[in-house]
Chains A and B, each alone.
Chain A
Amino acid sequence: NAGVTQTPKFRVLKTGQSMTLLCAQDMNHEYMYWYRQDPGMGLRLIHYSVGEGTTAKGEVPDGYNVSRLKKQNFLLGLESAAPSQTSVYFCASTLNHNEQFFGPGTRLTVL
């Protein structure tokens, strides 16, 4: 039981490049989330999903897109990366309205 895994762990992009972050969970959780963590800002919700095929915007959705084609996977896309998107990205999942299980994070640097 791997829990929540994130791929890749580290990435460096140039401004304007695109990339996709993958989150996978093997706990059969309905709800999945993408957060970003910045110094002094805590964890801010980017997008979330309440089930396969559904997505919704969080607090800071601009510049990101997401897809939940399979229940176990939640993808976060950056179409044209900007330096302001330099951050640590965390994925999380939960079965119900309760504790979330977080992945180990992806550290992204945009030059």
Chain B
Amino acid sequence: DQQVKQNSPSLSVQEGRISILNCDYTNSMFDYFLWYKKYPAEGPTFLISISSIKDKNEDGRFTVFLNKSAKHLSLHIVPSQPGDSAVYFCAASAGGTYKYIFGTGTRLKVLA
């Protein structure tokens, strides 16, 4: 049972436009969500996170939105740059469990 789902395996966006990556979850106990970026042959690197007490968190070009009622979060990248081309994973955790469940990833390609 996939508790964290990223239903779009890939996404292509023109440079300068907005990239929107989506993530859905099923476990209502999840209270902390993270996004990671991964380049080929490297480990994932942390991008941005959000706690369930918030519905939005911004860091520069990256904004994460959380809709708890829909069990949905999204990552917005504005403006998109060619260097943003990578695989993006969302992850979720339930307080006190110390475990993180990852989605299957979305490959973003930003076209110059």
Contacts and interface: CB of A to CB of B under 8 A. Distances in A.
Interface stretch (A13-21, A69-77, A79-87, A98-106): A98-106
A7 to B, nearest CB: 14
Chain B, interface size category, equals: 20 to 34
B89 A43 contact: yes
A4 B89 contact: no
Interface in A53-103: 58-59, 90, 92, 97-103
B63 interface: no
B46 A99 contact: yes
Contacts, number: 53
A43 B102 contact: yes
B44 A43 contact: yes
The 8 closest A-B CB pairs, nearest first, are A102-B43, A99-B46, A42-B104, A43-B102, A42-B102, A102-B44, A104-B43, A42-B105
Given A42-B105, A45-B99, A102 B93 contact: no
